[in-house]
Amino acid sequence: MQLDTSTQPTTHASRPFYRHLYVQVLFAIVAGALIGHFYPETGEALKPLGDGFIKLVKMIIAPVIFLTIVTGLAGMGSLKGVGRVVGKSFAYFLTFSTLALIVGLVTANVIHPGAGMNIDPATLDASKVTTYAAKAHETTLTGFVMDIIPSTMASAFVDGNILQVLFIAILFGIGMILVGEKAKPVVSLLETLSQVVFRVVDILMKAAPVGAFGAFAFTIGKYGIASVVNLAALVGTFYLTAALFVIVVLGAVGLANGFSIFRLIAYLKTELLLVLGTSSSESALPALMEKMEKAGCSRSVVGLVVPTGYSFNLDGTNIYMTLAALFIAQATNADLTLSQQLLLLAVAMLSSKGAAGVTGAGFITLAATLSVVPTVPVAGMALILGVDRFMSECRSLTNFIGNAVATIVVSRWEGALDREALDRALAGEDMDAVHPVTTLRPAPAGLRLGEASAD
């Protein structure tokens, strides 16, 4: 048996527009912005609403990832198939993460957002970025790899470490493949448990407008819209670059693989608004996995690509890193040669992986990168500290869209993409059913537990 998340044909009565989740989230963001702007103290006090919602979602992420990956791998029935999906996923991640770093580097050299500021590094308050610099030194590539291995199987779920849960789930799924037919009762149990967990996700998502309202009210109340004006060149350049990357680069990837990036964005509008409101792509991770399955992507591919992509396919974060580093160099009149910029690019490629999954990873990886290139003062990070929160939202949105695209592409490469389901989803059919009803159906031939999948 294999879990099927396709929506059963039903007749939906037309609902008022305000009953749609994406409309409620959008309204909550606007209301939060108004509260934060006109009543900043009240806005700051609403922070627990956003934090509480994110904690609720993080609470369910570990079981969602574990159940999706294990049942997906069990359905593949072949270790060769698992290795093939992982290899293709990382080939995609490496290619587009590197491309994102190059795009940020080129943009900074063309626009020069920091030119003319003439900041003396000695006048900057380095104490503001001391914490981030310290975390950057602690987050080495070796330490990151070792941290993937949990102390115990249970500790990964207790700590909520995505990569540790991913590691355990892959091992567990491989174990069930090797056991074969005898593991079928366990698979059946886990598939039934998946239905319960996704129902819990459905319940939690009803609180999304409250979380978005609190998080956005806090952001505007604490930092103020006016704080963006002082560094409008950097913020504007970053948003423009990220938008062009999504439309041009990811759009070209979509066309090459038979789908429109604009239709994909429209399909994910509820989740994107949630990411915008909370400044966290993790808040929409369970919903992304569910929607990618609904759009015809194989459960096994979704289970492997989405969680790993959240740590290794950070297009928005990579654009930010090289763009922000060169902005600081330009603002402090630190002239970088081509070789120094290439060194910056190489270090960023490594540090972006080394701090994956760490809270505030964008700022921490920037500190790690600058510490290796002494020409650019780490203290210069104080220049962008005030607007980093606003750029965090754009980083999260770009990362989220990039992972959705990666899931479709790898599914297509694997021959595990239901093209008709994808076309229906992107055409907006049955969009009222944000979280489809899960049902059980027999796995397709060649994908049953213990049977070899077709190459």
Give 52-120 as a DSSP string.
HHHHHHHHHHHHHHHHHHHHHHHHH--HHHHHHHHHHHHHHHHHHHHHHHHHHHHHHHHH-TTTT----
- The predicted structure's pLDDT at residue 233: 78
SS (H, E, C) 357-381: CCCCHHHHHHHHHHHHCCCCCHHHH
Give yes or no for residue 87 having a pLDDT over 50. yes
Token digits of residue 84: 């093939």
* Tokens encoding 389: 């929160």
427 φ, ψ to 5°? -80, -5
pLDDT at 243: 93
Structure tokens at 287: 């919903």
Helix axes 47-76, 162-179, angle to 10 degrees: 20
CA–CA dist 419, 202 (Å, integer): 26
Structure tokens at 444: 């397709």
Contact of 176 with 183, CB cutoff 8 Å:
yes
Which sequence spans correspond to the domains of the chain?
Answer: 2-441
- What mean pLDDT comes out for the span 18-40? 83
Q: Enumerate residues 6+ apart whose C-beta is below 8 A from 203.
A: none
Instruction: Between 446 and 322, name the one with better pLDDT.
Output: 322
Supply the pTM of this predicted model: 0.73
pLDDT at 404: 94
Confidence of residue 77 (pLDDT cuts 50, 70, 90): low
Which of 19-33, 180-194, 232-246, 381-395 is predicted least confidently? 381-395
Q: Which of 237-241, 295-299, 434-438 has the lowest mean pLDDT?
A: 434-438
Place of tokens 């990956």: 69
pLDDT at 437: 38
Containing H/E element for 328? Answer: helix 315-331
307 and 162 Cβ atoms separated by less than 8 Å: yes
Can you tell me the distance from the alpha carbon of 81 to that of 12, in angstroms, rounded to the nearest whole number? 38
Measuring CA to CA, how many Å separate 389 from each of 92, 121, 305, 396?
28, 22, 27, 11
Cα gap 159→148, rounded to integer Å: 12
Q: Residue 327: enclosing H or E segment and its boundaries?
A: helix 315-331
Show the DSSP H helices in 245-284 as ranges. Answer: 251-256, 261-267, 269-278
Average pLDDT, the chain: 78
Higher pLDDT, 309 or 401: 401
Query: What does the buried/exposed string (b/e) look like for 423-432 if buried means 16 or more CB atoms within 10 Å of the residue's CB?
Result: ebbbeeebee
Going by the DSSP 8-state scheme, the letter that residue 161 receives in this structure is: -
pLDDT at position 351: 64
Task: Please state the rounded mean pLDDT for residues 341-352.
Answer: 77
What is the reported pLDDT for 228? Answer: 61
**pLDDT band, very low/low/confident/very high, at 289 (cuts 50, 70, 90):** confident
Max mean pLDDT range (5-19, 343-357, 367-381): 367-381
Q: Hey, is 384 helix, strand or coil?
A: coil
Q: Output the pLDDT for position 400.
A: 92
Strand partners, 297: 417
pLDDT of residue 255: 94
Span 166-175, average pLDDT: 85
Q: What is the mean pLDDT of residues 355-370?
A: 60
Q: What is the DSSP letter of 441?
A: E
Q: Report the pLDDT averaged over residues 289-315.
A: 86
Residue type present at position 34: L
Residue 162's pLDDT is 74
Kindly indicate the confidence band of residue 8, based on its pLDDT and cuts at 50, 70 and 90. Answer: very low
pLDDT of 33 > 80? The answer is: yes
Taking the CA of residue 50 as centre, how many other CA atoms within 13 Å lie in the half-sphere pointing to its CB?
26
3.40.50.300, 1.10.3720.10, 1.10.3860.10, 1.20.20.10: which CATH number matches 2-441?
1.10.3860.10
Question: How confident is the model at residue 432, as a pLDDT?
Answer: 44
pLDDT of residue 12: 45
Confidence category of residue 246, pLDDT binned at 50, 70, 90: very high
* Banded pLDDT at 103 (limits 50, 70, 90): very high
What CA–CA distance (Å, rounded) separates 63 from 208? Answer: 19
Q: Which two tokens stand for residue 422?
A: 């994808």
Confidence of residue 111 (pLDDT cuts 50, 70, 90): confident
Neighbouring residues of 184: CB distance < 8 A, sequence distance ≥ 6? 1, 449
Report the pLDDT value the prediction gives residue 446, as an integer from 0 to 100. Answer: 36
What's the average model confidence in pLDDT over 53-66? 82
Look at residues 256, 245, 371 and name the one whose alpha carbon lies nearest to residue 314: 245
Is pLDDT at 356 greater than 60 in this prediction?
A: no
Query: Residues 377, 379, 383, 385: is their CA dihedral positive or negative?
Result: positive
pLDDT digits (tens, 9 = 90+) for 113-146: 877 777 776 666 555 555 555 555 555 556 667 7
pLDDT band at 333; cut points 50, 70, 90: confident
How many CB atoms lie under 10 A from the CB of residue 406?
A: 26
Q: What are phi and psi for residue 112, nearest 5 degrees?
A: 55, 60
Q: Is residue 453 helix, strand or coil?
A: coil
pLDDT of residue 364: 66
Max avg pLDDT among 180-189, 264-273, 312-321: 264-273
What pLDDT sits at residue 433? Answer: 45
